[in-house]
RNA sequence: GCCGUUGUAGCUCAGUUGGUUAGAGCGCCGGAUUGUGGAUCCGGAGGUCCCUGGUUCGAGCCCAGGCAACGGUACCA
């Protein structure tokens, strides 16, 4: 049997786990501050509850991990947090206060081909407001997202929350004659093309809107088959980006002219823009940007996306465009499909794993403040001695110091090596000699490592017993504390 | 799905026109040092050369098919 990790999954390191915990804690503080309540749903739901796009009956695992229960009903691992949230709200609708404002974090799963920075299991952190149709809720989402970015340490100017409205896109499509059910497929193709604006540029999008595009890898993507005038109108819309809000809105009005739905969308964006400006978030934190598409299906109104602008080196040191670390929008149909009545809702999702990677590559992740445990070496293995070592770690723990008794089978040398490798700050040694005198030897491993750089002869190194003191056993805790404090002061001074 | 690159020790990789016991560095284990981390020196363990078939007296190397990983692209509710 070969031990192997399934592709698209990762084993998480202690540093990673601690860093994510901290980051999630900062995000939670923002959500709580805005008045959202914690909630949690299971990782598994009935497949049909996860979305209107059910897995193909013949291929139930396409895109989502699915399996059949005893009663042959299909179950799936959730692929986002929104669908389970919608199920929960619909099921408990009468009991919940409306608007219902909740947040949740957890693992989601996608059965897709993994890529760099894309995994088959990853963590999201969502906030949602259910039961309010007004765009004030959408404006709040965008602003909260900006606050989250800054709370996790991304400087103002290094990110932007881009806001669009699905109604505007729909309006343009309607205006160029792509309305109606017959054109659903082509509309989708157009949206996909627009979504690739930042990747392939305006000319690439034009190709995708027209006949199609051949990319560098030799793969041909079939286009939407629009004529030049139609493509122009779509491109007009996507190029009216909002540094100048009034100008952008005017350009958008031109692009959607003739579509009531489109004009409604522009008006909503104007309202959001006004609210954002009134709250002071129009200083570059939040921008109206008609090229944001955000997913393809369930959004019905405003959509928003958090994008990192900072130049971020990847693991190989290459500068990469990191792009989106989160997004969301209004999904007025998601809850209502479980109920007979319309239930408006809006929310957003943060890609925790992606955001973590970005912070790590930006060097903004504090990971090193966890002190490894003090190790009490085991010199004698008779029950009485073991009890004595056990009391030492117990005393240290009572003083709030991480400590462990060495539990392996190795000799002293290997025990010190173990402590060294784990990065332990201090080792405590008590053999027969010390025990008779009621003493312990305490070794400062950090200082010792530093001194070792100046000694090249092993005999001298060992005789010197660098950074080591002998104290009465009763002073153990006080002495260890002293060394740890000195190390802490040293770290702070650097 | 499509295109491309790569599969040799735990890791990173050499390996000549096809030639006998497949190597290096790092790491790991042990010793020098019965009770002191690091450095140094010495020693040791560790291999289905991705798999299957073919060509050949002979294949890590050549050929065909497969598998896997990586990268790009498409899809991503």
Model confidence pLDDT, tens digit, residues A360-395: 877 777 666 788 999 999 998 889 999 999 999 999
pLDDT band of A317, cuts 50, 70, 90: low
Which bases in strand B are touched by protein, i.e. have an atom under 7 Å from a CB?
1-4, 28-40, 68-77
CA quadruple A176, A180, A183, A186: dihedral, nearest 10: 60
Q: Which nucleotide in the DNA or RNA is closest to residue A111, CA to C1'?
A: B76
Which nucleotide is at minimal CA–C1' distance from A218?
Answer: B3
pLDDT at residue A311 greater than cutoff 80: no
Q: Kindly give, in sequence order, each residue whose CB lies less than 8 Å from that of residue A59, ignoring residues fewer than 6 positions away.
A: none
Give the Cα separation of A165 and A314 in Å (integer): 32
CA of A220 to C1' of B62 (A): 35
d(CA A459, CA A298) in angstroms, rounded, equals 72
Residue A214 CA, nucleotide B2 C1', distance (Å) = 12
CA A61 to C1' B54, in angstroms, rounded, equals: 38
A271/B31 CA-to-C1' distance in Å: 78
The pLDDT of residue A105: 95
Structure tokens at A111: 């059965």
Query: Encoding tokens for residue A270?
Result: 């104007």
Nearby residues of A412 by Cβ (< 8 Å), 6 or more positions away: A377, A379, A429
User: What was the pLDDT predicted at A455?
Assistant: 80
- d(CA A120, C1' B67) / Å: 21
Q: What is the mean pLDDT of residues A408-433?
A: 90
Task: Output the distance from A157 CA to B20 C1' rounded to whole Å.
Answer: 67
Q: Which of the pair, A168 or A453, is modelled with greater confidence? A: A168
Query: Whole-number Å distance, CA A381 to C1' B56?
Result: 64
Task: Report the pLDDT value the prediction gives residue A266, as an integer from 0 to 100.
Answer: 95
Of all nucleotides in the shown strands, which has a C1' nearest the CA of A379? B35
Minimal CA–CA distance to A191: which of A219, A168, A220?
A168
Contact A129/A141 with Cβ under 8 angstroms? yes
> Smallest Cα–C1' distance to nucleotide B29: which residue has it?
A414
Contact A84, A91 (CB under 8 A): no
Look at residue A34 in the predicted model and tell me its pLDDT. Answer: 97
* Nearest-nucleotide field for A221 (CA, C1'): B74
Task: Please state, in angstroms and as integers, the Cα–Cα distance from residue A285 to each residue in A142, A154, A161, A163, A442, following that order.
Answer: 9, 11, 6, 11, 53
pLDDT level of residue A244 (50, 70, 90 thresholds): confident
The tokens for A14 are: 């202690």
Distant-in-sequence, close-in-space partners of A251: CB < 8 Å, separation ≥ 6:
A236, A237, A239, A240
Q: pLDDT, tens digit, for every residue of A64-79? A: 888 888 998 888 999 9
Distance CA A208, CA A231 (A): 9
The tokens describing A46, both together, are 């009935």
Distance CA A204, CA A197 (A): 7
Cβ(A176)–Cβ(A226) under 8 Å?
yes
How many other CB atoms sit within 10 Å of the CB of residue A73? Answer: 10
Confidence check: pLDDT of A440 > 50? yes
Q: Give the nucleotide at minimum CA-to-C1' distance from A423.
A: B37
This complex has an ipTM of 0.80
Q: Would you place residue A24 in the very low, low, confident or very high pLDDT band (cuts 50, 70, 90)?
A: very high
* Nearest nucleotide (C1') to alpha carbon of A64: B77
Between A116 and A156, the higher pLDDT residue = A156
Distance in Å from B58's C1' to A177's CA comes to: 72
Smallest CA–C1' separation from A411: which nucleotide? B35
Q: How far is the CA of A77 from the C1' of B65 (A)?
A: 37
Of residues A321 and A416, more confidence is placed in A416
The contacts of residue A139 (CB under 8 Å, 6+ apart) are A271, A272, A275, A276, A279
Q: What is the mean pLDDT of residues A263-272?
A: 95
Residue-level pLDDT at A139: 96
Q: Report CA(A303)–C1'(B55) in Å, whole number.
A: 62
- Share the mean pLDDT of chain A: 88
pLDDT at residue A51 tops 90? no
pLDDT above 80 for A1: no
Considering only CA atoms, name the residue closest to the C1' of nucleotide B4: A217
pLDDT at A320 over 70: no
Return the closest nucleotide (C1') to the Cα of A441. Answer: B36
Identify the sign of the CA torsion A336, A342, A343, A345. Answer: positive
Q: DSSP letters of A398-429?
A: HTT--EEE--SS--HHHHHHHHHHTT-SEEEE
DSSP A247-302: HHHHHHHHHHTT-HHHHHHHHHHHHHHHHHHHTT-TTTTEEE-TT---SSSS--SE
Checking if the pLDDT of A55 tops 50, the result is no
């Amino acid at each position: 049997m070969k031990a192997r990790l399934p592709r698209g999954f990762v084993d998480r390191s202690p540093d990673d786990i601690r860093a994510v915990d901290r980051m999630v804690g900062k995000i939670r503080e923002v959500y709580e501050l805005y008045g959202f309540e914690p909630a949690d749903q299971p990782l598994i739901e009935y497949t049909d509850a996860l979305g209107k796009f059910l897995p193909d009956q013949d291929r139930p695992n396409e895109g989502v991990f699915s399996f059949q229960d005893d009663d042959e009903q299909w179950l799936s691992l959730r692929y986002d947090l929104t669908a389970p949230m919608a199920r929960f709200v619909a099921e408990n609708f009468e009991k919940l206060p409306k608007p219902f404002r909740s947040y949740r974090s957890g693992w989601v799963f996608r059965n897709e081909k993994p890529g760099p920075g894309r995994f088959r299991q990853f963590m999201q952190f969502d906030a949602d407001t259910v039961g309010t149709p007004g765009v004030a809720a959408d404006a709040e989402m965008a602003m909260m997202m900006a606050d989250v970015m800054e709370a996790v340490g991304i400087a103002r100017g290094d990110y932007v929350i881009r806001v669009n409205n699905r109604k505007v896109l729909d309006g343009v499509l309607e205006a160029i004659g792509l309305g109606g059910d017959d054109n659903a497929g082509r509309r989708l193709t157009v949206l996909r093309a627009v979504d690739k604006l930042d990747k392939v540029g305006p000319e690439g999008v034009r190709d995708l809107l027209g006949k199609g595009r051949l990319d560098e890898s030799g793969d041909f993507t079939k286009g939407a088959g629009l004529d030049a005038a139609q493509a122009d109108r779509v491109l007009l819309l996507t190029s009216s980006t909002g540094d100048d809000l009034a100008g952008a809105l005017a350009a958008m009005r031109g692009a959607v002219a003739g579509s009531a739905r489109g004009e409604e969308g522009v008006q909503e964006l104007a309202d959001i823009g006004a609210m954002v400006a009134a709250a002071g978030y129009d200083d570059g934190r939040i921008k109206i940007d008609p090229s944001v598409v955000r997913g393809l299906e369930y959004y019905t109104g405003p959509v928003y996306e958090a994008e990192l602008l900072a130049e971020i080196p990847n693991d190989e040191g290459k500068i990469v465009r990191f792009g989106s670390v989160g997004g969301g929008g209004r999904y007025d149909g998601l809850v209502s499909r479980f109920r007979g009545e319309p239930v408006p809702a809006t929310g957003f999702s943060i890609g925790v794993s992606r955001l973590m990677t970005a912070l790590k590559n930006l060097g903004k992740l504090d990971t090193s403040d966890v002190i490894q445990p003090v190790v009490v070496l085991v010199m004698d293995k008779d029950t009485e001695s073991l009890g004595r070592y056990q009391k030492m770690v117990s005393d240290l723990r009572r003083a709030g110091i991480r400590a462990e008794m060495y539990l392996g089978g190795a000799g002293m040398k290997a025990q010190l090596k173990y402590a060294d490798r784990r990065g332990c700050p201090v080792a405590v040694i008590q053999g027969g000699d010390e025990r008779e005198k009621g003493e312990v030897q305490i070794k400062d491993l950090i200082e010792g490592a530093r001194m070792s750089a100046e000694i090249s002869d092993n005999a001298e190194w060992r005789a010197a017993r660098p950074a080591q003191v002998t104290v009465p056993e009763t002073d153990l805790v006080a002495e260890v504390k002293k060394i740890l404090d000195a190390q802490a002061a040293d770290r702070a001074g650097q």
